[in-house]
Amino acid sequence: VCPGNISQASLIVQMHSAHWHIHEIKIKLGILLQKPDSAGDLVIPYNEKPEKPAKTQKPSLDEALQWRDSLDKLLQNNYGLASFKSFLKSEFSEENLEFWIACEDYKKIKSPAKMAEKAKQIFEEFIQTEAPKEVNIDHFTKDITMKNLVEPSLSSFDMAQKRIHSLMEKDSLPRFVRSEFYQELIK
């Protein structure tokens, strides 16, 4: 093994470490910008109102309350989806939802040529290392997804989409339910 290979490997590890550090900073900054339970202690105000889709009716209280326990019900409701997206934007963490939506749109494509084009776009935007909106998936899932993209099919992103759905369900949904975006809906 020549010394050049060691320094190259070391550089790759350092770059990977720096990427994760930046991701952690984004998450922490998002948490700081979220309005705390006691509004008097607010240090960094965030005054954006939740996005309201133009032609979507506000959900009933019962509908909105169901979202606490079901990410799928939230994602199926246009008003809930828009509120969730606004919340994630306020935390600088909308890439997971954008990836999930892109995968849903991808599954509707019929043309193999358009499917290949869209697969490349999703990969470059969300999956590849240092992608502009890189989602946090493990190496195994990333590798499987890359292998699936050799011959794109409707299920090429299924494993990655399931991982991101699970992450949103365990992490983003509970924070959304505690946020003012959601609390305004159930008043």
pLDDT of the chain, 187 residues: tens digit per residue? 444 444 444 444 454 444 444 545 454 444 444 444 433 333 333 334 444 444 568 899 999 999 999 999 999 999 999 999 999 999 988 999 999 999 999 999 999 999 999 999 999 999 999 999 999 999 999 999 999 999 999 999 999 999 999 999 999 999 999 999 899 888 8
* Domain extent listing, the chain: 61-184
Centre a 10 Å sphere on the Cβ of residue 100 and count the other Cβ atoms it contains: 22
CATH number of 61-184: 1.10.167.10
Query: Are the C-beta atoms of residues 157 and 144 closer than 8 Å to each other?
Result: no
Residue 112 makes CB contacts below 8 A (sequence gap 6+) with 152
Query: Are the C-beta atoms of residues 167 and 136 closer than 8 Å to each other?
Result: yes
Helix (H) or strand (E) holding 14: helix 3-33
- pLDDT (tens digit, 9 = 90+) per residue, 91-131? 988 999 999 999 999 999 999 999 999 999 999 999 999 99
